[in-house]
């Protein structure tokens, strides 16, 4: 199986990158499945059913989320009705939505369908809100998913590099890939861990890179200079799609290859 994971989609520019580039990447690389983190896709903060529908229509199969899950009130509708939308697994019992799912990847290569498990979890170090222990919950959930498929992708939404590395090592040999999100800076440590799990500390973000993590630079600098609250508008220029492309052995679920993706959208 060949899958593409897209780092945090930021605002309208990020959605434009997905709309323009994903169909081409699917065809160019023979992709079987596409996952995207959409937690910043609505004006740079949160996600709505309308925007999720737009992202699905542009070629994304599953959308994951993170600490900005609740920034748009309409997200409750997504959590209740859309199985292709995942929120972090480690919210307390009773929280709407779900943190993992098993999906069907359809491709001529399979002569039918192949199952893929997708799991979304959130770290606890330097990130709000404080959630349950992702290590304990993910370990049990992965065992459940492996009863139906060995191909499992994990989006670990976390701030601390050490927590991400530890999480990847913890799940090594049990899942096909662990890729981090949240910091919006693509790291250069892509690798196959000893147990066969593809790993990347952070996928980066999809959106305008001529700014500060997708936002206009001036208000960000002003906040650092004055300590005063500012409105962080989404930036506009140098739009890029960041993520990772992973090839997985269908029988064993072990990763064969991981490659960082950094694609530029032509200037308008």
For residue 110, what pLDDT band results from cuts at 50, 70 and 90? low
Which residue is listed with tokens 């959930």? 141
Mean pLDDT of the chain: 95
* pLDDT cut 70: percent of the chain above it: 97
Q: What are phi and psi of 161, to 5 degrees?
A: -60, -40
Instruction: Report whether pLDDT(49) > 80.
Output: yes
- Model pLDDT, residue 65: 98
How many residues are recorded in the chain?
268
* Residues 60-108: tens digit of each pLDDT: 999 999 999 999 999 999 999 999 999 999 999 999 999 999 999 977 6
- Residue 242 designated active-site: no
- Fold of the CATH domain 2-264: Purple Acid Phosphatase; chain A, domain 2 (3.60.21)
pLDDT of 112 over the 70 cut? no
Average pLDDT rounded to a whole number, residues 207-220:
92
Under 8 Å between Cβ of 94 and 72 = no
What residue segments make up the domains of the chain, in order of their start?
A: 2-264
Cis ω for the linkage preceding 92 (within 30 of 0): no
pLDDT value, residue 108: 63
State the catalytic residue, choosing from 29, 68, 157, 184: 68
């Amino acid at each position: 199986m060949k899958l593409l994971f897209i780092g945090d989609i930021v605002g309208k520019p990020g959605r434009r990158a997905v709309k323009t580039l994903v169909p081409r990447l699917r065809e160019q690389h023979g992709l079987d499945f596409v996952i995207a983190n959409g937690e910043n896709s609505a004006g740079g903060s949160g996600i709505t059913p309308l925007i999720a529908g737009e992202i699905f229509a542009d070629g994304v199969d599953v959308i994951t989320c993170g600490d900005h899950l609740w920034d748009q009130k309409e997200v409750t509708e997504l959590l209740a009705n859309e199985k292709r939308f995942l929120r972090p697994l480690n919210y307390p019992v009773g929280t709407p939505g779900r943190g993992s799912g098993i999906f069907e990847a359809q491709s001529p290569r399979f002569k039918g369908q192949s199952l893929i498990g997708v799991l979304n979890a959130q770290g606890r170090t330097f990130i709000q809100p404080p959630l349950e222990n992702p290590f304990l919950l993910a370990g049990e959930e992965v065992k459940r998913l492996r009863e139906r498929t060995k191909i499992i992708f994990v989006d670990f939404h976390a701030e601390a590099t050490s927590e991400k590395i530890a999480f990847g090592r913890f799940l090594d040999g049990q899942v096909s890939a662990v890729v981090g999100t949240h910091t919006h800076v693509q790291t250069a440590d892509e690798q196959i861990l000893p147990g066969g799990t593809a790993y990347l500390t952070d996928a980066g973000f999809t959106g305008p890179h001529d700014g500060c993590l997708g936002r206009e630079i001036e208000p960000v600098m002003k906040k650092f200079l004055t300590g005063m609250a500012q409105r962080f508008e989404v930036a506009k220029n140098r739009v890029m799609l960041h993520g990772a492309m992973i090839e997985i052995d269908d029988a064993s679920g072990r990763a064969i290859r991981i490659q960082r993706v950094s694609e530029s959208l032509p200037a308008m």
